[in-house]
Amino acid sequence: MNQIRQASIKRIKKDLEALGKYNSTPGQGITRVLFTEAELQGRAFIKERMRENGLEVREDEIGNIFGRLSGENSDLSPVWTGSHIDTVLNAGMFDGTVGVIGGMEALRIIGESGLKHQRDIAVIVYTSEEPTRFGLGCLGSRALAGELTAEDARRLTDSGSFSSTDERESSLYDVLERLGHDASQISNIKRNPGDVHGAVELHIEQGAVLEHLGMKIGVVSTISAPTDIKIKIQGTQEHAGATPMHLRKDALSAAAELILQLENFARSAESKSTVVTVGKVAVFPGATNVIPGEVNFTIDMRSAVMAEKKEILRKLDSLVESVSAIRRVKITKEITAHDAPADADPHIVSLIENICQENKVAYNKMVSGAYHDSMFISKFAPFGMIFVPSRKGISHHMDEWTDFEDIALGTDLLAHTLFQLSNEV
């Protein structure tokens, strides 16, 4: 890589390990849930590091943090990079943080190169990429895309078990106000096409394709998008022994039928990117000798092909109808997110590919099975994503691991891509 100095493995390792210390479940993976003590401390750490790296720091009304490296011509639309520092429960150290720490390092080596770049370049911590606290992901990038309003923020509530101040349920709106933000202004942070010249996110792959291919770099073609559904099944709570089988309205058996059929729908879909998971099931009353009267479960469906998600939703509707009729249970369905897959910008993809080729870095063009903030950034800016490998494909787990050398290589490619984008005038 000419001119721009190589990313420092040592600095990247130090920053990732330091950020990893802000954690509410030490010894059991890393948990940094949105706006809890641990995440607020992680935010403060990143802001401090941004300032130490000579970046101008600001935060918007939903808590997106911007660290800006000024270019020669700040009137031009900027170039963005960034990701998230919030986590799922008992997570690993690299999901999201690689894009924030790597983004900071990329801006640092661009700045230190002394090479002139026209457009400002910003590294961003997007608020709440994970749905952990409020049940909906990508809150900060969704708001930037104009798809999250102050009203939505009032409607989104947590279970009350995340705020250190009191145990009652809080809305995103309340929490933002308590942090000193003017949550009524959320709708004003919306960006429009043309406001951002291009955005590139560095992220771990969270799957095992790169490792399987023996490659260190992935170039994302499309981001699979989630469709999240809540299912409630109401049967009849009765005695497990005295109730004859033909009279039962067993909510859990009905749920089991739906869940297995959903798996078949995904297995028989055309695209390999179409997947379905039921990750949360709550059974009431949850006693050994009582027929479950009520079951609530969540469906997390993903695909790079919107038509396949729509087809599975159609099949689910007719399955719900038949299971509720045959088992005489009431089944209600609430779709809480139905996002469209996002295609990476062909120009940015070829920019990243050219830089890989010039530097003889083997790469794999691939679909991202996980969703990312770039999915919403794509609504107003052309985007690209660079993947680095996840060991054994493990992610959303304390054993998540990516070699620091691989992160530094991804950072070098990111720096060159951002630098070239910032000189497109």
Please give the residue ranges that form the binding site for ligand HGY (CB under 6 A). Answer: 129-130, 137, 370-371
- For residues 225 and 335, the answer to whether their CB atoms sit within 8 Å is no
Interaction of residue 218 with Mn ion, rule CB under 5 A = no
Return d(Cα 78, Cα 103) in angstroms, integer: 15
Residue 125 or residue 254: which is nearer to Mn ion going by CB? 125
Residue 95 or residue 412: which is nearer to Mn ion going by CB? 95
Return d(Cα 316, Cα 320) in angstroms, integer: 6
Q: Which stretch binds Mn ion (CB under 5 A): 33-41, 89-97, 194-202, 210-218?
A: 89-97
Interaction of residue 137 with Mn ion, rule CB under 5 A = no
CB of 46 to Mn ion, least distance (A): 15
Question: Which pairs from 312-321 meet CB under 8 Å and 24+ separation?
Answer: 312/262, 312/265, 312/266, 312/269, 312/274, 312/276, 313/227, 315/265, 316/229, 316/258, 316/262, 316/265, 319/258, 319/261, 320/258
Return d(Cα 100, Cα 110) in angstroms, integer: 15
CB of 326 to Mn ion, least distance (A): 38
CB of 313 to Mn ion, least distance (A): 24
Residue of 113, 124, 97, 83 lying closest to 7 (CA atoms) = 113
Interaction of residue 294 with Mn ion, rule CB under 5 A = no
CB of 160 to Mn ion, least distance (A): 23
Interaction of residue 205 with Mn ion, rule CB under 5 A = no
Return d(Cα 313, Cα 269) in angstroms, integer: 12
Q: Of these partners, ligand HGY, Mn ion, none, which one is at the site of residue 205 (CB under 5 to 8 Å by kind)?
A: none
Q: Of these partners, ligand HGY, Mn ion, none, which one is at the site of residue 137 (CB under 5 to 8 Å by kind)?
A: ligand HGY
Residue 15 or residue 228: which is nearer to ligand HGY going by CB? 228
* Residues numbered 95-134 forming contacts with Mn ion, rule: CB under 5 A: 95-96
Which two tokens mark 47?
Answer: 């802001």
Interaction of residue 86 with Mn ion, rule CB under 5 A = no
CB of 360 to Mn ion, least distance (A): 29
CB of 402 to Mn ion, least distance (A): 12
Interaction of residue 235 with Mn ion, rule CB under 5 A = no
Residue 36 or residue 422: which is nearer to ligand HGY going by CB? 36
Residue 124 or residue 421: which is nearer to ligand HGY going by CB? 124
Rg (CA), the chain: 23
Residue burial 352-385, b: 16+ Cβ < 10 Å; e: rest: bbebbeeeebebbebbbbbbbbbbbbbbbbbbbb
Contact residues for Mn ion (CB under 5 A)? 95-96
